[in-house]
Amino acid sequence: MKMLVKEVPIKDINEVIDLFDYCINNANGLASPYDDGEIENYLKTKRLYGAYYYEKLIGVGALLDINYDPIPIEKVFLRIIHKKTAMLVRYFVYPKYRNLGVMTKIQDRLINLANQFKYEVVIANAFSHNIASIKVIEKRLKLSYNLNVLGDDTLIFMLDLE
């Protein structure tokens, strides 16, 4: 499949919103709703990458800086409080394009972006029953922690870039 992975331009915000809405509304609880301003922030900070099939946006992923107070729980459990850390978030692909390597290509671009921004660690998490996300994340990141929150097992993965 001919696909281009690139930074998503601000002009594509409506396509991004449509993709987020579709995937979140059909995720059976595997994806959390997005906050007001979240998508705009990803676009403004140039940390949202998308896969395009011809001109159509078919998948996205974002790189989130998690170096702030209060310290995110993932950094505490992984004992990386003092490391410059980014998190891979918002992995969404339209069903028609799943199992074609779309998220793997986006993930690779986000990891390269993390290197460019001089992050020391990249992390990602997924519910233990979200098999599709786990398969993609495990291609590059190592399972590092199993966090049980209110009966939901959340797996935390890590890649040391140093």
Residue 1: pLDDT band (50, 70, 90) is confident
At 29 the pLDDT is 77
Residue 2: pLDDT band (50, 70, 90) is confident
At 28 the pLDDT is 85
Task: Output 118 or 30, whichever has higher pLDDT.
Answer: 118
* pLDDT at residue 31 greater than cutoff 90: no
Task: Output 96 or 27, whichever has higher pLDDT.
Answer: 96
The gap from C-alpha 96 to its chain's centroid, in whole angstroms, comes to 19
Task: Output 73 or 1, whichever has higher pLDDT.
Answer: 73
Mean pLDDT over 123-152 rounds to 88
User: Torsion-angle region of residue 101: left (phi > 0), alpha (psi -120 to 50) or beta?
Assistant: left
- Alpha helices (H) in the chain, listed in sequence order: 13-25, 38-44, 73-77, 102-116, 131-137
Location of structure tokens 């940390």:
47
pLDDT in tens, 81-111: 999 999 999 999 999 999 999 999 999 999 9
Show me where the domains of the chain are located.
4-160
What would the CATH number be for the domain defined by 4-160?
3.40.630.30
At 52 the pLDDT is 98
Q: Count the helices and strands in the chain (H runs, E runs).
A: 5, 7
